[in-house]
Structures are given as structure tokens and as C-alpha cells.
């Protein structure tokens, strides 16, 4: 019963979309289990470039059943917009299945996300402004709206009334915004019901039956380990569980069905939004990584903060997720540096530690301890096996592998599907 989990090892944008696409042709189901349209996955197939937000990247592979799991929060107009955009480009989206238990992002939550950020001022998170945080908060406080509620107008109205009773106080009295009427929200949501209905299913049951038939299910994480609400750099995180545990709760697949956990890490690190980032670069090297790596957000277009590879983070991600395979992406971006610093430990207030600091204060005070590896100048974008890599690039990979706590099974050397060195079969 092979369920395979794929997660980000750092702060997101590691190339999860490309990795999912790479595996797509060999799996029957691809499930998005967390997050919403805060994610942005770029997938390049031949001359076509796709930017996916809410749909699992597996939607691009003919024959795959893409599933939006119960752990996802859905902005329905965005979902339909993405489907229409793909259909216009000839991509078949007819197999998409959406969990009846997934939560819906009502428009008031996108407003609340943005005004809350403004209210936080210098303590803001730097969210994507898509309503993700308020919608997961509603889920936890049990005033959320689920996909299934759209098919029972009476229930929907009651739930929207309940949610707005509280939120209108916040909007009007605290944030000085206009109040929202129950009618406008209910009417808007009901306009989507009929189009959504044929896509909706008990996805946990569907996936359980698929696994019983020995079909392969790939669980594709949005965001990443350090953005996980429990295991990330809280409060500078997203509001869902982006780690492998979230793959189970967000899909209804039990932990005992998971046979492999693949984590994706860049050969350096990027971060979008606020929060601590020990290896962040503020000099020309940071600029160079950003421009060579095209490090601008797929969702918000914001420049990504860039820094050197951080071993304690990779080791932490291996531990928290139970990683069986690491994929290192964007090795090609490091071509041309004379030497490449790699963070092997931190100095926290004069003490050297090799794990992530236990406290937020410790993380903010952590400065990187670097080892310097020799760089390479040869173009590696055409490398297809380890033997094709220059010896210093190979040594860089070996160094990471020895210290990250998991074997490296593939290496990305360019954005295109073929620009990958596969060391170990990820599905066998």
C-alpha cells in the first residue's frame, strides 16, 4: 500500500512542484494535503510554464487523479480560475476530486488576513494575504465553513451567521472596516455550489480504496518544514502542518500506509516573508543567488530572501519528517562561486550548537558557523548522472549527504523536467 509523502525541507519554494511532476507519470493519485493558494509551484514541461497555487502539481500529468484533501483551505473563485486557465491551455482537469471536509476561504477571511497584518505593524508575519491564517483559525475554533456546507443552504446560513457575529465586531470595532452581511456571503458561496458539486467526494475513503488496490498515492506538501505551525519558526510560519504528519491528518491516510518520505531542499536557502533566517545574505552574494536563481515569489512576486545552505535545518527536517530521501534542487545556481559557505552549526550567545535552538529568542540570536567548500565553474545544467558533475560539485553533494541525515536520491540542475540527476529510484 504505497503512500509517498513529499515535503519541503526549508522555508518553501524548494522545487516541490517540479519533483511532483517528475514522479507524476508513475503514480495514480497526487494529493494536496495542506495550505491553499498561498502556495506557488512552477512546473516547466517542454516550452510550457505553469504556475499552480491551489491545484496539486500532479494535475499536469495525464491519467493522474488530483485530489484536494481535507487539510486544504479553498478559495473557490481561485480554484475555478485555475481550472479555467489550465483548460484554456488544453490541460484536462476533469479528474479533480475535492474533499467534502476541506474548508472554504470566505472573502471576509482574506480581508481579515490583510487587516490583521497591518494591525500587527512591525510584528507582521508577511503573509500572502490569501486568508489562510483566519480560515485555519476558524477551523480550530469550529466556526469554519466546509465544502459540504455549500450543499445545504440552511446549514450554510447558520454557520455564516455564527462566524460573522464575531467577525463583524472585529472588522467594525477594531479594524474600522465596513460590516459584512450574511446574505452577501451566503449568496456568493451558493453561486459556486453547482459547479463544485461533481468534484466533491469522501476523499479519505477514495484514497483508502486506491491504496487497497495497490495504487500509488503521492501526498504533495505545500509550504515547508520551517513554515509548519508546530515545527517551524513560530510565529513566522503558515497556519497548517506542512510536515509529513500533516500528510496523514490532511488526507485521512494513516501513518502505517506511508512507505517513503521525500524532502526537497535547495542547494542554498530562500525565505519569503518575515522571521529569523541565520544564513541570510545582505550582500552581493545574496543578490547573485536571487538573480541567477530567479528567486521571486510565484504567488506574490516578492523578492525571496537568500542565504547559504544550512545543515542544522536540513538535519532537523530529516528528523521531524522521517525523511527517507532528499532531493537537492538548483545545484546549477551555485556554479561560478570560488568557494561556497555551508552552515554547519550556530553560535548562539557564545555557545556553539548543532541543532536548531529550542527557543524563538535563540533562533533570532543564532549566527552561522561556516565551513567553506571549493566551488566549480563548469556548466552543470546538462549533467544527468553523478559522473557528469565536476569533482567539486560532487564533493559539495557528498558533504551535504554526510551531514543531513538522509541519502540524496536526486539532484536538480535546471528548471526543466529532464534537468535532473536521479541517483536512486524514488518509487521502487
- Using CB under 6 A as the binding rule, the residues of this chain from 315 to 334 that contact ligand GDP are 329-330, 332-333
**Least distance from C-beta 272 to ligand GDP, angstroms?**
9
Phi and psi torsions of 77, nearest 5°? -60, -35
C-alpha grid cell for residue 136? 485555519
**Per CB under 6 A, 252 contacts ligand IMO:** no
Instruction: Show the cell assigned to 179.
Output: 460590516
Taking the C-alpha atoms of residue 160 and residue 369, their distance in angstroms, rounded to an integer, is 52
Binding partner selected for residue 332 from Mg ion, ligand GDP, ligand IMO, none, CB under the kind-specific 5 to 8 Å limit: ligand GDP
| Cα(405)–Cα(378) distance, integer angstroms | 28
The rounded distance, in Å, linking the Cα atoms of 21 and 122 is: 38
- Nearest alpha-carbon partner for 135 in 156, 154, 163, 157: 163
Contact by Cβ (8 Å): 143, 162: yes
x/- site string to Mg ion, residues 298 to 337, per CB under 5 A? x---------------------------------------
**Can residue 128 be called a binding residue for ligand IMO (CB under 6 A)?**
yes
**Of the two residues 79 and 224, which places its CB atom closer to ligand IMO in the complex?**
224
Q: What residues have CB less than 8 Å from 215, skipping those under 6 apart?
A: 28, 29
> To which residue does cell 550556530 refer?
346
For residue 171, what is the DSSP state?
I
Residue 244 cell numbers, joined: 509529513
Taking the complex as a whole, the smallest distance from the CB of residue 332 to ligand GDP amounts, in Å, to: 5
Q: Based on the shown chain and the rule CB under 5 A, indicate whether residue 40 belongs to the binding site for Mg ion.
A: yes
Question: Whole-angstrom Cα distance, residue 154 to residue 150?
Answer: 9
Contact map string, positions 11 to 30, toward Mg ion, x by CB under 5 A = --x-----------------
* Residues labelled catalytic: 13, 41
Query: Does residue number 272 form part of the binding site for ligand GDP (CB under 6 A)?
Result: no
Q: Which is nearer to ligand IMO, 19 or 426 (CB)?
A: 19
Among 6, 18, 65, 366, binds ligand GDP (CB under 6 A): 18
Dihedral over alpha carbons 374, 377, 379, 383 (to 10 degrees):
-30
Mask for 390-419, x = binds ligand GDP (CB under 6 A) = ----------------------xxxx----
Sites for ligand IMO among residues 227-246 (CB under 6 A) = 227, 238-239
- 38 or 251: CB nearest ligand IMO: 38
Judged by CB under 5 A, the stretch of 143-151, 250-258, 296-304, 359-367 that binds Mg ion is: 296-304
Distances (CA, A) of 69 to 5, 36, 107: 13, 11, 21
CA dist., res. 319 & res. 353, Å (int): 17
Q: Does 223 bind ligand IMO (CB under 6 A)?
A: yes
| Contacting residues toward Mg ion, per CB under 5 A | 13, 40, 298
| Contacting residues toward ligand IMO, per CB under 6 A | 8, 12-13, 38-41, 125-128, 130, 132-133, 222-224, 227, 238-239, 272-273
Amino acid at each position: 500500500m504505497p503512500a509517498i509523502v513529499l515535503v519541503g525541507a526549508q522555508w518553501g519554494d524548494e522545487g516541490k512542484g517540479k519533483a511532483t511532476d517528475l514522479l507524476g507519470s508513475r503514480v495514480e493519485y497526487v494529493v494536496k494535503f495542506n495550505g491553499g493558494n498561498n502556495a506557488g509551484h512552477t512546473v516547466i514541461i517542454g516550452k510550457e510554464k505553469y504556475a499552480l497555487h491551489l491545484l496539486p502539481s500532479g494535475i499536469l500529468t495525464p491519467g493522474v487523479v488530483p485530489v484536494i484533501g481535507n487539510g486544504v483551505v479553498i478559495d473557490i473563485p481561485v480554484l475555478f480560475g485555475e481550472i479555467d486557465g489550465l483548460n484554456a491551455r488544453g490541460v484536462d482537469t476533469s479528474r479533480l476530486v475535492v474533499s467534502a471536509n476541506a474548508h472554504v476561504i470566505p472573502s471576509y477571511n482574506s480581508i481579515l488576513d490583510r487587516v490583521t497584518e497591518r494591525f500587527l505593524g512591525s510584528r507582521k508575519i508577511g503573509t500572502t494575504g490569501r486568508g489562510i491564517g483566519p480560515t485555519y483559525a476558524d477551523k480550530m475554533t469550529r466556526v469554519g465553513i466546509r465544502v459540504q456546507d455549500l450543499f445545504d443552504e440552511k446549514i450554510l446560513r447558520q454557520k455564516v451567521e455564527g462566524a460573522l457575529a464575531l467577525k463583524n465586531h472585529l472588522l467594525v470595532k477594531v479594524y474600522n472596516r465596513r460590516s459584512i452581511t450574511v446574505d452577501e456571503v451566503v449568496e456568493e458561496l451558493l453561486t459556486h455550489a453547482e459547479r463544485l458539486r461533481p468534484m466533491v467526494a469522501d476523499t479519505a475513503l477514495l484514497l483508502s480504496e486506491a491504496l487497497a488496490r495497490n495504487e500509488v498515492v503521492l501526498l504533495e506538501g505545500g509550504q515547508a518544514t520551517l513554515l509548519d505551525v508546530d515545527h517551524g519558526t513560530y510565529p513566522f510560519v503558515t497556519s497548517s502542518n506542512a510536515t509529513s504528519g500533516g500528510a496523514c491528518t490532511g488526507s485521512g491516510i494513516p501513518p502505517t500506509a506511508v512507505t517513503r518520505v521525500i524532502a526537497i531542499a535547495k542547494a542554498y536557502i530562500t525565505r519569503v516573508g518575515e522571521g529569523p533566517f541565520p544564513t541570510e545574505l545582505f550582500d552581493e552574494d545574496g543578490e547573485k543567488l536571487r538573480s541567477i536563481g530567479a528567486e521571486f515569489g510565484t504567488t506574490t512576486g516578492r523578492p525571496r530572501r537568500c542565504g547559504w545552505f544550512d545543515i542544522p535545518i536540513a538535519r532537523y527536517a530529516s528528523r521531524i519528517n522521517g525523511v527517507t530521501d532528499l532531493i537537492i534542487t538548483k545545484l546549477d545556481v551555485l556554479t561560478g562561486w570560488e568557494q561556497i559557505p555551508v552552515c554547519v552549526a550556530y553560535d548562539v550567545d557564545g555557545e556553539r550548537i548543532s541543532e536548531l535552538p529550542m527557543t524563538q529568542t535563540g533562533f533570532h540570536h543564532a549566527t552561522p558557523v561556516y565551513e567553506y567548500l571549493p566551488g566549480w565553474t563548469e556548466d552543470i545544467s546538462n549533467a544527468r548522472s553523478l559522473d557528469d558533475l565536476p569533482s567539486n560539485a560532487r564533493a559539495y553533494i557528498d558533504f551535504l549527504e554526510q551531514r543531513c541525515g538522509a541519502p540524496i536520491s536526486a539532484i536538480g540542475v535546471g528548471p526543466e523536467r529532464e534537468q535532473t540527476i536521479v541517483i536512486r529510484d524514488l518509487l521502487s
